[in-house]
Structures are given as structure tokens and as C-alpha cells.
Structure 1
């Protein structure tokens, strides 16, 4: 009911991708339950009971693929990403924030909890492919983001690019890579959600998302522009902010597995600097191209407050990430098994 003119096509694509992949996961869950019932004569959906069967089941690779594809679509991983740009761009700002801040993180969580931890051996065999697709997503979507005029599409493609680091960290088979993936999930939710708030407010004020029709907005909205610069800096991985912690740890973990993948993933950070700073230049600097912008008033205090809280959280994560990194400790023993499989 809400969104721009392309919302019906976007929601149909979103429905087909997410429900189709969800069906695969449902079949994988039922298959795992049936295999466990044949082994133990007990029908149960208990995660810890099924995890014992998942380790020794001969069909574990097939069952693992059902979970992997489902969460790879939700992350999303290239080439399962086609639903995301249209959905993010056609949705109202609030829905774009929800999708980027919450839904995409279920993909990362699912890959950790139901692929790597549930099927460590089978996950080790697809780790090189998953990491390769993560690098492809980082570079390919960063390049597409550079070419965008629509600010929401730029943020959408940049989001897929940054999510590639999560895929790298999860399947790197290292503890530090897993810690980086979890830190990146938190930082990405904050920074990308904040950027969609900024894009939504600009669209509301200007009536357009086309950056070629913007420009020179800093004098009209200095506080808002300063916060936009902060989140653009976070998106490009400025040291001292949360995104840098996640991406740096992922690169350290990936370096232990593949120097080549680390090099190309790091090259994606160069492109992230290009599209982040280009967005700031086209929207907030240069000659003024519209008179539709009024100075921020009382109506925008909630926007400033939410953006300020997100900025403080990103700064706290960048300066003291240990509380978030501690969340990855339960996953670490399972990650070791992947590293051992890869070494063999």
C-alpha cells in the first residue's frame, strides 16, 4: 500500500525470493527431523538434539544447502541479491530501515547458527565458494553503488557490499573472523539504518531521491549534514567507528585463509570511500540546486535524536568493541572444526 510507483513489482520479487528460499529451509528442517527420528526413534525439533544427528548424517551436505540458500537469500549473497535494491528503493523509509537493520541480520545470524554451528563439516566444504561469493559481492555491488544517481539505491548496493564482509568472516574458519562478522552485523545495522533515515528525510523535503537534483544543502541543514558526514565516514570504514572494527577483524581472519581474497576484499573499501564521499559531495556540497529545503525545525528533532543515538553507539563500538566481540565466544569452538577441515 505504501512506497513509490515500483512497489508492486518490488514486493512480488521480495515475496518470491524470501518465501521460495524459506520453503527450502522448511524442507531441510523436516529432512533433519526425519533422519534424527530414524536414528533415535524420537521425533523432536530440539536444536541440540538435532545437532548430534547433523554431525553424522550422510545427507548432511544436502540438508545444509537448504539452510545455506535460505539465509544466503536473506543476507543477501550475490547472486541471490536481486530482490534487495528494488525492495529498499521502493519501500517507505521506515521499511527500508527495518529491512536493512533487522532482516539482513537474520541472514548472518542464520549462517552462523544453522549452517556453521549445525553442519560444521559440510559448511567447511562450501567455505571457499561462500568466501569467493562474498568477495564478488563486495566488489560488484560497490561498483554498482558508485554508478547510482538514486540515493536509496546507492545505499542499497552499498549495503550488499558491506554484507559481503559478514559472509567472509563467518566462513573464514577463524575466531577473529567470526568476531568481525558479528561486529560488522551490529555496525552495519546502525550505519545503514541511519543512512536510510537521512535518505527518507531528504526525499520528504525535496520530493526526489535523484542526487543530480540535490546539492548545496549544508547551509540549510548544518546539523543534519554533519550527521550525514559522520555516517558516510562510518560506511567507508573510518578508524574509530564500528564499521572499521568489523571489517578490519574480518580481513585479519581472511588473511589467515587466503591472501588473495583479503586483497580484493580490501579493494572494496577503496570503492566504498568513492561512493560515500561522492554522495556527500553531490548532496550537501556544491551549488544549491533547489529552494525546497527549509531549515530543520522542531519537527526534525526526533530525526536528530535517533541519528545522534546511532552515532554514539557506532562511536562506542569503534572505541570499545569488546562487549560485542564477547557475543561470538559460544560460536568459536564450532569455527575451529571448519578450520581443521580446510587444513585437510
Structure 2
């Protein structure tokens, strides 16, 4: 344990970095990049310190806690803390933010110097809000961060995205605001259904103490779930994601899909399951149906895409279906797999978006039919793209395989039909990834003018890709350190919900922990 307010510092540092970047004089705007990178690296160091200070065997619901009265009349506190799930997601965000800043180093986003500075400042502000939303242990504070995240993302898409950026930004904002407003009703209702008082929104006080009629509690669950389903995103409230991810710059798409969207699945665990255990079990058949549809629907639409970025966005809809499936399988194996999947998906999707972005920068087109034979011109780029794709399709030895296997195993223990149908997503994933690679990278060498042959990955781009690929290779062969941090929180959630692993599979699930 440590007396340092690490979670607060992980928000303060990027915000201060954003202020410094925005305040840089016009004549020194190029300093924005190293200052932003430096702030994100300091945040990463703090995240590593938090990981080291965390004691997975302590038995406490939250660690690294900070609690201060904020608005006592409404029971609102500035309360932060992490369990294993929240900590793993914060560390992932802290790793991907400097990677994204380095990837966006030479992005041509500027008409004026001021816009260049704001681009990196917004990324740092978004990092601070992402840490806050995962660390908040006060329901109202969580809602504040949940809505605040929309602001930097809206501007990152709307100011710096592609030709349809304004449409995509507004669509993202409207979907998110609609879900957030529905959740706000449930947030207020939870306070009155809980013990109330000065700290009436604290999660630890609300768990097991949200009282009311069965119907009222189920409606509160629905309010939270709708907001999280939009954020996740799940079918049929997913339509904002392909537009947003396609029009956003690759670095923004990584933070949006790789990190920010995990708030949806994280929220399902933290609030839907832990605050409304009976309603969670009541809703499970419908949620599992939606999850299975998301898995298959997202994969089928990915196969038919001709836009590279849009294809990657649809793969994420399929992958989020797997995550939700594992969460609501209500088994320890499925829960561990779902939480590990959130981490692994963040890294594999980051690699796909960023490497595809490097490719688009060289050729100027997102259309898959405009490519072919690029492995003969840019072999390193092609090789990293293949490894990232193989991770996304869950090749054994790469990280996504472990989490996908655990999700399907855990689901099969209780819901065999759902697991069997969802397994179709594995076959479809092989189709959309390998077909994309074949169309983009294989074939005869493309003809380029002698003075316009595209360069292979630069040293900076290799530094961008290397840590991400290292992450899903290491987690593919040795996921135990992460699972050791995640499993106590998974067991706590199962105890709160009041479910146990089906016999005789309990012994098998124990071996996976």
C-alpha cells in the first residue's frame, strides 16, 4: 500500500500536461508533442506504481482509496478506488495513451498552429477522464466522468476526423447523451433506494443495500444497462461506432474503441451486476441473446466491408459480444475471460487501427480494393499487420485466444446453446481477417513511380507497434499475472450476485484461476 493519492495524480498529471500544451506560445507549437508524450509517460509510471502497490489477496473490495465529501447535501463524494478489474483497465489506458500520441506524432491535423496544440491537449484530457471513470467509487462521480468523456472525444472526431467527421461526431454524441440521460434517472433512483446520507452514492454502501420492489429494481437495472449497451456497443444500439471509428484519426479510434468503450462492459459488472443482482439474473436470457447476435452480426458485416477502418470497427462489435457473453454467463471462468478479453481487445484493436492508419497514410485510401501486393513493398508493415490480425482472430499463442477460450468455456458450463452459436464468431473472424490481409497484402507487386515507392515502417512507427505486439504475445503465453489480479474481483462479483459455478465444472473453473 502507499499513502500517495496515485489515482488522483493519474488524473492531475495529464490535465496539467494538457494545460501546458494548450498554453504553449504559437512560435513553439512543435513542443506540444514531446510535452504531451512526457505527461502520458509520467502517468504510465504512476499506473505501474499503482499496480505494484495493489494487493490482490487483501480481500478488500477497493484499494488505493481516496474519499472526500464533495456535495454532502446530495450524498456525493469524491471517492476513488480500484479493484483488479478497474486497475487493469487503467493500466491499459496508461499504456495506450503514449502509444497513440507517438502514433499521431506527424498527423496532419492543422490549419492553424492552435489546432495542432489542441489535438494533443484533448488526448491528455481524455486520458484523465478515462482514469476517473474507472477509478470512481461514487456512483454520481462515475456519471460525471462518464459524461465528461464525451467532450474531448466529440472534438477529436469533429475537428480532426475525415470528410464526414461532423456527422460522425454528432451521432456519437447523441447516442451517448441519450444513454447517459436514461442512466441519470437510475442514478438518482439508486440514491433514494439506498441507505442515503452524506456518502449515499458510495458503491461499497450501496452493494447489498439497494432496496425497493422487484419491478423498481429491474427498471433501475435497465436504465444502467441501456447506457452501457450503447457505450459497449451492442446490437442494436451500435450504429454510431462504425461511423465514429471510420471518421476518427487512428489514434483517436484506438482510445475510443480500445479503451473508452470498455466503460460499457466495466459498468455492467460494477453497477448492473453488483447493485442489482436479482435483476441481472432476470435479464440474463435477453442479454445473452443480444450478445450472441452482436458476435455473429458484427462478424458478418465485417466480412462485407470494403473500408478498412469500418471493417475493424465491426470486428469490435463482434468482440464486445463475446465480452458481454462472458460477463452474463455468471461463471468464474466466463467472468475471468470477459475481463481479460477487455484488456486483450484493447491491445489487438489498437494494433489493427494504428497499422491500418500507417498504411492509409502511405496510399491515401481506406478502400481495401485499392491495395494488393503491399507485402512485397513494405514487408515489416505487412508482417506486423498480419500478427495484429492473427491476434484479433484469436490464434493460439496470442492473447485474445486465451480470453475467448475462457469466455466460451465459461458460457458452455451454463448456457450451451449460446456458447455453440457464439463459437461461429471464431470461424467468421478468420474469414474477415484473412480475407482483408489477402486483398491488401498479397498478390503481384504494385506499380509505383520510382520517386513514389512507399517506405516501410519508420523507427518511430516501429516503436509504436512493438509494445502493443509484445503485450499480446506475452499475455498469450503467460496471462497468469493479469488473471491473478482480475480473479478476486470476479469472485467478489459472483458472491454479490449470489451465483456459483455449475457442478461438476467448479473444479475445472478453479484450475483456470
TM-score, length basis structure 1: 0.94
Aligned with 1:6 (options 147, 161, 164): 164
Q: 1:18 maps to which residue? A: 176
Q: 2:58 maps to which residue? A: none
CA separation of 1:313 and 1:333: change in aligned 2, threshold 3 A:
same
1:130 equivalent in alignment to 2:290: no
CA separation of 1:293 and 1:143: change in aligned 2, threshold 3 A:
farther
1:33 equivalent in alignment to 2:188: no
Deviation of the 1:42 alpha carbon: 5.7
Aligned with 1:53 (options 193, 206, 209): 209
Aligned with 2:461 (options 303, 319, 323): 303
Q: 1:331 maps to which residue? A: 490
Write the distance in 1 (CA, Å) between the matches of 2:332 and 2:447.
50
Deviation of the 1:293 alpha carbon: 4.5
5 Å matches for 1:257-272? 257-272=414-429
CA separation of 1:45 and 1:315: change in aligned 2, threshold 3 A:
same
Aligned with 2:372 (options 215, 228, 233): 215
> Is contact 2:274-2:497 (8 Å) kept?
no
Q: Map Cα deviations across residues 60-106 of structure 1 (whole Å, 9 max, x no partner).
A: 11111111111111111111101000000011111111111111111
CA separation of 1:293 and 1:174: change in aligned 2, threshold 3 A:
farther
Q: 1:195 maps to which residue? A: 352
Unmatched segments (≥5 aa) in structure 2: 1-158, 503-513
> Is contact 2:332-2:501 (8 Å) kept?
no
Q: Number of aligned pairs? A: 338
- Greater shift after overlay, 105-114 or 331-340? 331-340
Deviation of the 1:122 alpha carbon: 0.8
Write the distance in 2 (CA, Å) between the matches of 1:43 and 1:230.
48
Which entry has the higher C-alpha Rg, 1 or 2? 2
CA separation of 1:339 and 1:171: change in aligned 2, threshold 3 A:
farther
TM-score, length basis structure 2: 0.64
CA separation of 1:341 and 1:126: change in aligned 2, threshold 3 A:
farther
CA separation of 1:342 and 1:150: change in aligned 2, threshold 3 A:
same
1:282 equivalent in alignment to 2:282: no
- Greater shift after overlay, 328-337 or 234-243? 328-337
Question: Which of structures 1 and 2 has the larger relative contact order (alpha carbons within 8 angstroms, sep 6+)?
Answer: 1
> Is contact 1:74-1:104 (8 Å) kept?
yes
Write the distance in 2 (CA, Å) between the matches of 1:186 and 1:293.
37
Write the distance in 1 (CA, Å) between the matches of 2:280 and 2:447.
52
5 Å matches for 1:311-322? 311-322=469-480
User: 4+ residue runs of structure 1 moved beyond 3 angstroms?
Assistant: 39-43, 336-343
Q: Map Cα deviations across residues 241-273 of structure 1 (whole Å, 9 max, x no partner).
A: 110011000000110122111111111110000
Write the distance in 2 (CA, Å) between the matches of 1:342 and 1:315.
30
1:99 equivalent in alignment to 2:256: yes
Write the distance in 1 (CA, Å) between the matches of 2:429 and 2:447.
27
Aligned with 2:224 (options 49, 58, 67): 67
Write the distance in 2 (CA, Å) between the matches of 1:170 and 1:177.
6
Write the distance in 1 (CA, Å) between the matches of 2:302 and 2:226.
24
1:145 equivalent in alignment to 2:302: yes
Q: What's the RMSD between the two structures over aligned residues?
A: 1.8
2:431 alignment partner, SS class:
helix
